[in-house]
A and B are shown apart, each in its own frame.
Chain A
């Protein structure tokens, strides 16, 4: 149970982070997650888009169809002000969480 919640929360956090500085489209997000995690994390269509739609509905991100010269029309997502706040909160709690885990696992390994 914890695992699933954890993964869900972490995926949200990843997407919000990747959108922090520039708008991106879904395929780009999926590529970035795979490459930046060195293949450890993969997010396929069936999980990625439902998640995007869900957080879009919550008002954290905003999608827009954009046509760029020489490219096909794509839907770009960008962070909304509300999303920025959520990102900050989630980052904080993630850091706390990771530190807590590290502390525990560090003791165990010590």
Chain B
């Protein structure tokens, strides 16, 4: 009857440390296993039970090292020890292979240790791979355009008017286009919405009006058809369109016959002339391009964003200087257009397109990258500690190898090989995690982090992962390897029985724990500060109440609504219909809503405070709103009144201003009744201020208060508007009713960008939310790893001193004294780590600058709470080994001594 016990494996395990060739090892294992099986049958036949027989056979096998050592003597020729200085490649290769084989076996022999180590590393390396892939795509990889490092953009600015960035009017852009020397090709674009009415529901498409050179700047050729022709630049000839690959596939199923066909865009027949290749999508989300129809005589609208391809050798700085110089020239040639410009010198900025796109996310990404690297370092320290503990336990194995002639260098090389094997296995598992993690990151963050959607595991991410794995392997393998190589036979045999850790190795363990806690503290403080900032941010009053408000966009085609009267007529029918829908509390209309991007601004003049010649003009955010708007969005009236249904054309012009504007111009007077008018146009009418409302945040909760000027929709009419509807409950329930009311009046008008105000604010916080969540996650992982680290170190320390505790208990110490002793030792390490960490946390001031809001780096709450969290985690981690110390048997201790 075959014995279920795996004798062959048992033998193989015991002789594994000899590093014999696999064939020889198998031969020995076979032969000995046969013998043992025969012996077992023999013992069973004498009447022994299966268990007793097996025990007897095992006893005959003697202990591990005896068998291995005895065989080693017999096999001495097989245990090669390379002579010192032997550097023949073949021999080095053989040695490496043997080390790897032996390493694999050693790791397999300790599945619990290997699993913990590999998983810890996989988490650390995987997280690094994910964040690096984001850094790689967003910050390092060139944009997917030909020689993309030459594509740049610039803008003008007028800080004295409160305008950090100014777009260009047609005439100025045309002047730049004609005179530029730094750009090889220069184009301009502006976003535009198009309603496609073509069999079925009208669809709103995001498009861009572009100048003719637009595609040349990117160096992109159409997939089908052609790009725009020079004559298509002039207004009237520009009724042609180029489609994105996505739109072509989605709407026209990839049918090439669409080229030459006329589409109804905003009710204008527009001929498709080309289709762009897949992947070309600039600006982001754009589905079609239409020639701009440049009006070379217009400086009225400042709305064009320039983009160009720099000449070889030209820099963004030369582009910036040229932008200023050409602007000065242009203003000098057209004094009639710029009566106020003589002393207000324009400034300019320029950037490579990549930097411009990446803008705000560079710092959060780098912060996360730093955090994730710190997590990996902490994980490495844990594994180094585990390996150090194991090195002590493997003292006798090392002694045996030493005995057989292995040099310290060989032993160190063997141990490093084991570490690298661990690290590479960790990297492999980590990469699998990274694939999953990147998918998750893309799903959650592709909207907030530009370019992230294109992140993939490419060669660079792979190389990075392998590099950090090797680095980590060396990092956590070095200390144990040096310690392992230093083992001396006598010491190992003396101490071997106790499996204790030497003082030197304990000091090293302690140093790792201190480092882990100081790094964790820095991460936790960083995460804490960001969370506190976020808390402050959520407490900011945006100037309106977002809950229960839904917003949607409408745009009336100029073809069918050519006059203000017709536009007003449409809304005068629509708004009352909406107001009486069940569940609706208030309905309003505004040209732009907070947090929807874009920010129409205009210069204005306050009566009695007209700027003298040469004095800069002031700019306010200008909105045209209906009477119901303030109630619908939830902006209260501070003084006076908001607009009334009677504020229409023909009635006296009126305006509402915000408190910031009122305070600046009439600090000590009642603003009601004061007069204000738009700047620029000489024939603008004076409007009487009838009300004051609170300041409203438009782009972000962190912005400094702008000046606001509201005009009544009844007097200043717009074609494209946002509907704002306040509901009694969940506003999402109203959307279909709103849609059908719009369709009842005009079925060709799509309702688009339907969102609740809460979603809009949320989106403005999304990048922060993501950064916070990731950083908090990394910080907690760091804390967990540090706690595991101190737990491991205290366990080893308690294990090696168990007799000491026994003696203490025998001499009358109480259990709680021992607990206090152990926990106290752990807490000393934590205290040192905390102090070092606090010093490190001061550096966060620079790292987190621009990410904090309303809190400083020395935020007392964060600095008080974080060390407490660390201490609590550490006490818990130390308590478990301390409990074990109290269970030391005093009698056993005394007997041993």
Cβ contacts under 8 Å, A44 to chain B:
60-62
The answer to whether the Cβ of B9 comes within 8 Å of any Cβ in the partner chain is: no
Q: In the complex, A49 Cα to B74 Cα: how many Å?
A: 9
B56 nearest CB across to chain A (Å): 10
State the main secondary structure of chain B at its contact with A: helix
Q: In the complex, A75 Cα to B77 Cα: how many Å?
A: 21
> How many residues of A are counted as interface, with CB atoms below 8 angstroms from the partner's CB atoms?
18
A–B pairs, 20, beta carbons within 8 Å: A26-B35, A27-B34, A45-B32, A45-B36, A45-B39, A45-B61, A45-B67, A46-B61, A46-B66, A48-B35, A49-B31, A50-B71, A50-B74, A53-B74, A54-B73, A54-B74, A57-B75, A72-B34, A75-B27, A75-B31
Q: A46 contacts which of B31, B67, B76, B77 (Cβ < 8 Å)?
A: B67
Q: B38 contacts which of A27, A47, A48 (Cβ < 8 Å)?
A: A27
The answer to whether the Cβ of A51 comes within 8 Å of any Cβ in the partner chain is: yes
Q: Is the CB of A49 within 8 A of B60?
A: no
Q: Is the CB of B67 within 8 A of A30?
A: no
Q: Which of B27, B34, B75, B76 has the most CB of A within 10 A?
A: B34
A32 nearest CB across to chain B (Å): 13
The answer to whether the Cβ of B70 comes within 8 Å of any Cβ in the partner chain is: yes
Q: In the complex, A28 Cα to B61 Cα: how many Å?
A: 17
Q: In the complex, A57 Cα to B62 Cα: how many Å?
A: 23
Interface residues of A (CB under 8 A from B): 26-27, 30, 44-54, 57, 72, 74-75
Q: In the complex, A72 Cα to B31 Cα: how many Å?
A: 11
A23 nearest CB across to chain B (Å): 14
Q: In the complex, A54 Cα to B28 Cα: how many Å?
A: 13
**What 20 additional pairs, Cβ within 8 angstroms, besides A26-B35, A44-B62, A46-B62?**
A26-B31, A27-B34, A27-B38, A30-B35, A30-B39, A44-B61, A45-B36, A45-B67, A46-B70, A49-B71, A49-B74, A50-B70, A50-B74, A52-B74, A53-B28, A53-B71, A54-B74, A57-B74, A57-B77, A72-B34
B30 nearest CB across to chain A (Å): 8
Interface residues of B (CB under 8 A from A): 27-28, 31-32, 34-36, 38-39, 60-62, 66-67, 70-71, 73-77
State the main secondary structure of chain A at its contact with B: helix
Q: In the complex, A27 Cα to B32 Cα: how many Å?
A: 9
Q: Is the CB of A27 within 8 A of B70?
A: no
Q: Is the CB of A46 within 8 A of B60?
A: yes
Cβ contacts under 8 Å, B74 to chain A:
49-54, 57
B833 nearest CB across to chain A (Å): 49
Q: In the complex, A102 Cα to B73 Cα: how many Å?
A: 34
Q: Which residue of A lies closest to B63 (CB)?
A: A46
Cβ contacts under 8 Å, A75 to chain B:
27, 31
Q: In the complex, A54 Cα to B76 Cα: how many Å?
A: 9
Q: Which of B28, B34, B67, B74 has the most CB of A within 10 A?
A: B74
Q: B28 contacts which of A46, A47, A49 (Cβ < 8 Å)?
A: A49
Cβ contacts under 8 Å, B62 to chain A:
44, 46
The 8 closest A-B pairs by CB, nearest first: A53-B74, A50-B70, A54-B74, A44-B60, A46-B62, A50-B74, A27-B38, A27-B35
Q: In the complex, A51 Cα to B61 Cα: how many Å?
A: 14
Q: In the complex, A47 Cα to B62 Cα: how many Å?
A: 9
Cβ contacts under 8 Å, B70 to chain A:
46-47, 50
